[in-house]
């Protein structure tokens, strides 16, 4: 893959992408932020022109070749490439989520009790609706 990242894309080129919420949308190539890790994998970030939500999609070697051919700039530096890592463990179940919540709530409750003594006081007065 050549490095043509400094060349601006030709005028009139439009990009088509799939928003996770809206479906297929048309974008100006300037709205795309392309990140590459070598020549074999990359990410593209864009805000949906319809709903404004951020979308992040993986790019494979063929996608990166197209990006290079049309002259889209490829950014280097920090990108969320961990999104491309395989996730081969079991899915998080509702029970797992509840157990995690209980564990975190218990830790938080114990730590605040150590630092702050709660003194019993008068019960809060309930206001009546004057209307």
CA 102 to chain centre: 26
Mean pLDDT by 10 residues, the chain (131 residues): 52 85 92 87 92 92 90 78 78 92 78 52 54 45
Look at residue 2 in the predicted model and tell me its pLDDT: 45
Spatial contact of 34 and 63, defined as CB atoms under 8 Å apart: no
Look at residue 128 in the predicted model and tell me its pLDDT: 54
Domain limits, the chain? 15-84
Look at residue 13 in the predicted model and tell me its pLDDT: 78
Look at residue 72 in the predicted model and tell me its pLDDT: 87
Look at residue 99 in the predicted model and tell me its pLDDT: 94
Distance CA 24, CA 130 (A): 54
């Amino acid at each position: 893959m050549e490095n043509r990242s400094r060349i601006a894309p030709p005028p009139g080129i439009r990009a088509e992408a799939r928003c996770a919420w809206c479906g297929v949308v048309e974008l100006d190539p300037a709205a795309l932020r392309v990140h590459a890790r070598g020549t074999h994998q990359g990410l593209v970030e864009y805000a949906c022109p319809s709903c404004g939500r951020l979308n992040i999609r993986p790019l494979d070697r063929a996608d990166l070749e197209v990006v290079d051919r049309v002259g889209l700039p490829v950014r280097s530096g920090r990108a969320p490439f961990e999104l491309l890592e395989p996730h081969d463990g079991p899915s998080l179940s509702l029970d797992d989520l509840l157990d995690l919540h209980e564990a975190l709530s218990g830790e938080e409750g114990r730590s605040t009790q150590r630092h702050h003594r709660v003194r019993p006081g008068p019960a809060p007065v309930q206001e009546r609706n004057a209307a």
